[in-house]
Chains A and B, each alone.
Chain A
């Protein structure tokens, strides 16, 4: 087993990985950029090393700096988290060449699934359905226009080296094609240093369903059921749940079998996710393999009782899975909401800034994976996701009600977040009915606004009575009885204006 793991990531996932390492008695090294000097992910680790400038390309994406930090601190393994270097086969090979262990699939498996076009071809040969697509696009936009006419509209443009919705565009009519192509190519080139895009048929109102797999280096492989991830904005997930309300037991059997077929064919080990798109007639199509720990892994942990990071580390250390498919029990229902620093009333525009106050919800069946604390920054340089709130219930409705309550217990002040949007989403009858599909938000929340402020009077009274801790230590004189910072002050003996 490893003695020290370097965590090549930031935010909530770095914190989450460090927790499991600590439980396993493994020392941890956090890395940070100059923009993250005060980030909460540093103080859950045993050591912290600055790996470069604020721009991710100069720090979290800079493989050489990360490797140098691992060597300097004597780490024997690197956990890449998700995003950044997590699916970079070149980095995984460099880690192995340096005599360290990359906690993730073998580099060859990473390469096999990393390019979506290559993965599509591999999977199609296995008899797993793929969406009709055009992989080799002409360079001349006019020629592309003729090429895609055979597929018909609407179309979806995707980046070959994609992920996270970057470089994706829906094209509903021919007139939008040229602009959408150039935007997708630009975005893909900026995000993945590879601007190749392809075009596939766009299914209306489909479900996005993915299967979690886990395999060891000896070739034992199991699935941990599916996750429904259809509630998306800008092609990025904001709510996930397991099991999927759209997947019957018979369909689950078919989809998990297809996922395992794909994983076995590419010699996959460690944790991974096989993504499918599911239409309303129960037909599913392979989308891609996410060769990493997923953002939404907590909901699978809720219903299986497994710690996926623990399993990843054990597998990377060469240990056998230690359980078989029949040993895995899935219990109840779990939901996750992603809290983003973004303005849902203005096209989900990111809104980085200073967090003045953060209060996480708690209670039975509530889990919070957070990358923020009060008085920290959400920098402009990285993904605006700041926390994940997940809930468990014996059934979907219990998990949903628990989530609706947990979100109302959450407080974040100082920057705009999607918290009120998530509350409205959880309360929506169509969500409660399980009628989720990838067009859900544009159908039900086309022009969402914060709406009613039911407790305005209470808020005004609170603002008048207690002006709170001052950010800059100046301003109004506190009311007389509040000049000492005693917490849990009861109002006995308090006199207004005395």
Chain B
């Protein structure tokens, strides 16, 4: 594994190995001294062309706990705004001897393009509406923890995972679908037709517009953020109507099995796609997802940089 660009690039063995190793990393998270020497002397640049406090911090902590030198570069205010091409921006940093780029970009494909240009290894921290593979991995990690804690078989095969929300604009859904296709989870996508990606019928998932019918079957209910500005695009009329049809409201919460995990990659719009009752429910795994994020990213960074890998 030289880069992590797409959740679809991971084999079944690689995906499980990343999740297994994340458990060892999670153990470090509970130690008083949160430090492993594995990436000592490695330089990781977190290149965030788009703001994301949550993902950037998670990667930064992961790198630091592994003893790497992590540097954060924000796209805003850098040469990006001066009209420099993406290629020139990345080659300039690459020439400084960076071992790994962790890249967030508003444009789909920008991370994969960069991987073709630079010597460093590249981790996709979210590109446009394309992919967010470490999010899918941490979701899978949190699911597995949940399966284990609730005493069910921890394997993903046959698990029913409902993903609900703005799927058209979501990189999280694409990576989750790809990863679960590898791991064996059965994904049902629930959204108004206006928020479904073109060609979704070929993704090997079930598509539904009836959340009430889907919820009682689900082992995992993953709610995705719906941005209010989508109303201007004519995707749905009002937040009220969206919530009535597709929100995990307090009333609808009763249809979720008590042993099913409620998940949300954040940031949450409480009252739109998820009610506070659901977000704070006993079976909500929202905070576990965040906690898993650091361990999963440590695992990813160790996989890419722990051996002889890194810049060529």
Are A and B genuine complex partners?
Answer: no
